[in-house]
Amino acid sequence: MAHAEISSGRPGTGMPNLGAPGMGAIAALLVGAVGLALTFGPRQAALFLVGGGLGISLYHAAFGFTSAWRVFITEGRGRGLRVQMLLLAMAVVLFFPALASGTLFGNPVNGLIAPAGLGVIAGAFMFGIGMQLGGGCASGTLFTAGGGNARMVITLVFFIIGSVLGTVHFDWWTALPALPPTALWQPFGAGGGIALSLAIFAAIAAMTVWVERRRNGALEQAPKSPRSGAARWLRGPWPLVAGAVALVVLNFLTLALAGRPWGITSAFALWGAKIAQMIGIDPTAWAYWQTPANAEALRASLFADITTVMNFGIIAGAMLASALAGRFAPSLRIPLRSVIAAVIGGLLLGYGSRIAYGCNIGAYFSGIASGSLHGYLWAVAAFAGNILGVALRPGFFVERRQSRADG
C-alpha cells in the first residue's frame, strides 16, 4: 500500500490538531535528539534529526520509487522518473567534487561504492519484484509505515527477516564474478564524471518523454494541491520537485555529518541479527558479521549505529507529517492476499538489498550519487524486476490508475 493511496484530506489553512500521534512524534524527535546528544554526541543527534527531515520530506512529497516505476511500466507516464533523474543530477553535482577530493568541510568522506557483478544483478532483480509486491521500496516502507500504513509494517517485519537471511549467504554471493568497485569520477575526474552522468540522466528523461507522448499524446501535469502558501508546506502535499531538492540537500548533509551518504537497509540486517541473538541464534558464525565494522556494530548499542538512528528519525518524521496532514489513521483491515504479498515482497526486499549492496537509497540514489557503477547496474536490474513484479500484482491487488509516487 502507498502514501498515494491514502486520502489527501480536506483543504485547510489552520494549524491541524496533531493528536496523540503527532505529539508523540514531536516528543520522540525532541527527546531522542537530546538523549542521543548526551549519550552518543551531537553528531548522532543531528543525524537523527536529519532522518526526521527525510521522513517529513518523503511523506509530504509522497516521494517514492515504486509507483513511479509502475506507472511508467503500465501507463507510459514518466513524470516520476523524470523527477528521479533531476534528483540524481543534483546529487552528482554536489557529491562528485567532495568525493573526488576526499574531504567535505575539512572532514574525510567516502562514497557508497561497491563491486558491480552477478550478486548485484540477482539482488536488485529480487528487490524490484519485492517493490511491487511489498508496496514500496526501502524509504517507502519506512515513511509509509511511520505514516500509519499497517500493511507496510508487515512488509517491514519481513524486510528485516529477509535482510538477515541475506547475511547468511552474503559470502557466497560476493564470491561471484564482479567488476572491482569503481566510481565515474575516478577515471574521468569530478567534472568529467558529472558531464557523463548528466548525459545519461538527460537521455533517460528524453526517453520517458518520447514514450509518454507516444502512448498518451501529451505529458502528464502535476496535480493541483488542495492547499497553498504556508499551509501547503506545513501540511502537504509538496511538489515532487520540492521533495527531490529536500532529499538531495539532506543526503548531502548526511555525507557531511556521517562521512558517507544516506543508507537504510544495513540497519534492518543489524536489527534482525540482534533479535536472532536474543532468541539463541548466533549470527557471528556468518561471514557477513565477521568483518570488523559489522562485528563492532553487532556488539555496540543500536543507537550507536548511524543508519539505525536515521531510520528511527525517518519513522518519527513521517508520523509527524501524517499527523500534520490529518491522515494518520491506521487500519488493520488488510485483505489476506495483500498480507501474503507483503510477506513475499518484504522477504525479497530484504534479501535482495543485502546481496546487491543496497536498496533504492543505498545503491540507486546514494550509489549513483557516489558515481558507483554498481548503482547503475542496480537500477537496470531492479527495473527489470519491477516489470515482473507489476505482472504479478493482479494476483494480489485490485489495480487502479495512479500518478503519484508511493514508496
Task: Please state the pTM of the whole predicted model.
Answer: 0.92
16: its cell numbers: 491541524
What pLDDT is stored for residue 14 in this prediction? 52
- Say if CB 163 and CB 126 are below 8 A apart: no
How much is the average pLDDT of 45-53? Answer: 98
SS3 content of the chain, % helix, strand, coil (to 5): 70, 0, 25
What pLDDT is stored for residue 4 in this prediction? 35
Kindly tell me the burial class for residue 338, based on how many C-beta atoms sit within 10 Å of its own C-beta (0-12, 13-18, 19 or more): middle
- Say if CB 359 and CB 265 are below 8 A apart: yes
24: its cell numbers: 508523540
Q: What is the dihedral of CA 322, 323, 324, 325, to 10 degrees?
A: 50
pLDDT level of residue 17 (50, 70, 90 thresholds): confident
Q: Which residues pair with residue 79 across a beta bridge? A: none
Q: Could you tell me if residue 317 is left (phi over 0), alpha (psi between -120 and 50 degrees) or otherwise beta?
A: alpha
How many C-beta atoms lie closer than 10 Å to residue 175's C-beta?
A: 12
What pLDDT is stored for residue 404 in this prediction? 41
112: its cell numbers: 557508497
pLDDT level of residue 8 (50, 70, 90 thresholds): very low
What pLDDT is stored for residue 35 in this prediction? 97
What pLDDT is stored for residue 82 in this prediction? 97
What pLDDT is stored for residue 16 in this prediction? 65
pLDDT for 265 beyond 80: yes
What pLDDT is stored for residue 331 in this prediction? 79
- So where are the chain's domains? 20-219+233-395
Instruction: Name the one residue in this structure whose C-alpha cell is 500484482.
Output: 393
pLDDT for 398 beyond 80: no
Q: What is the mean pLDDT of the chain?
A: 92
